[in-house]
Amino acid sequence: MSKDPADTSSISFTALYTGHVWYANGMSAPAFHNAGGSMLYHALMPFEFIGKQIAGGNIKTFLLQRHLIIDALVEKAIQEDGVEQILEIACGMSPRGTRFCSRFPQLTYIEGDLPGMAARKHRLLTEQKEITEKHQVVPLNIFAQDSDDALETVMARAFDTSKPVLVITEGLVNYFSLETIDGFWKRLQAALSHYPQGIYLLDNYPLFDNHPLHKTMRVLGGMLGTISRSQVSFHFGSDHAAKSHFESFGFKNTTVHNPANYYQQLAIPRSRGNPFVRVVEARVK
């Protein structure tokens, strides 16, 4: 494990697996298919099957729940809040930028990731002729400050401060301790405050004490932390704790979305019992 709690250099490999989940479920272009992600995806299939049978949910279930709910919230922000500027941090092989830019040509959509992954994604999109002046992939490190790849620099360079902006981090924040990621959240709130409205969407895995997957998720978190050499953490014990935490930073209108509330609205897989993943929508006005 990395000795630096803010070291993000070893996380990008998980984007390959996640990217193949999107591809295997018809949500991503063939250009995003890769051998590494396919190998990880098929290697985990027996464990995914067992997890689904025993616990009523597995990693793939959580990934699809969070991704599709974030998609729905992004679409709502575009249509109801007039959002035309989006920053997706730790974009990996996410197909979201491609899909939304094809549907909403008014968008300025910036995808950010560590240099290696950003270069890979940029090459793939360039080959598909999807890189445009309004859809870019750039290097971005959430812990960098006063540099070209810092959050504040990327946002200032790409966005108009007279218009609303939406920021997404999917599959990122649980790789860091709460103390470490708090610094990024505080800076993000400050950055969003420069816009007439700022919306932040992220996934979260609250570790409920009475959840049947409590012990399982602790074990999986430890394994993932070892593989990715990071400090995988479950930050909150309840939805109320998550909401209160973000509102203490100045995100004055925070909603925690439970996938169970979307079963009748979206074509998302269902968990047996209380889903383990949440999507947090934190707003700054």
CB atoms within 10 A of CB 122: 17
Q: Which has more confidence, 27 or 165? A: 165
* pLDDT tens per residue across span 222-280: 444 444 444 667 889 899 999 999 999 999 899 999 999 999 999 999 887 888 899 99
Is 1 domain-assigned? no
Q: Is residue 3 part of a domain?
A: no
Task: Give a yes or no: residue 2 inside a domain.
Answer: no
Tens-digit pLDDT profile for residues 150-163: 999 999 999 999 99
Q: Considering the domain boundaries, does residue 7 fall inside one?
A: no
Number of domains, the chain: 1
pTM of the model: 0.84
Alpha carbons 41 and 189: distance in angstroms, whole number: 35
Whether 4 is in a domain gets the answer no
Residues 6 or more apart whose CB falls under 8 angstroms from that of 261 comprise: none
- pLDDT above 80 (res 1): no
Residue with token string 């993943």? 277
Residue 216's pLDDT is 55
CA distances from 13 to 20, 98, 114, 132, 195 (A): 12, 21, 11, 26, 33
Structure letter (DSSP) for residue 270: P
Distance (Å, whole) CA 191 – CA 187? 6
When pLDDT is cut at 50, 70 and 90, the band that residue 92 belongs to is confident
Helices and strands: H and E segment counts in the chain: 10, 7
In a domain? residue 247: yes
- The Cβ of residue 222 has, within 10 Å, a number of other Cβ atoms equal to 11
Q: What CATH number is associated with residue 148? A: 3.40.50.150
Tell which wins on pLDDT, 219 or 15: 15
Domain limits for position 136: 13-284
Average pLDDT over residues 162-191: 95
Angle between helices 35-43 and 45-55 (to 10 degrees): 40
Contact 113, 137 (CB under 8 A): yes
8 within a domain of the structure (yes/no) = no
End-to-end CA distance of the chain: 38
Output DSSP code: residue 160: -
pLDDT of residue 7: 47
Average of per-residue pLDDT across 120-137: 90
Classify residue 189: in a domain, yes or no.
yes
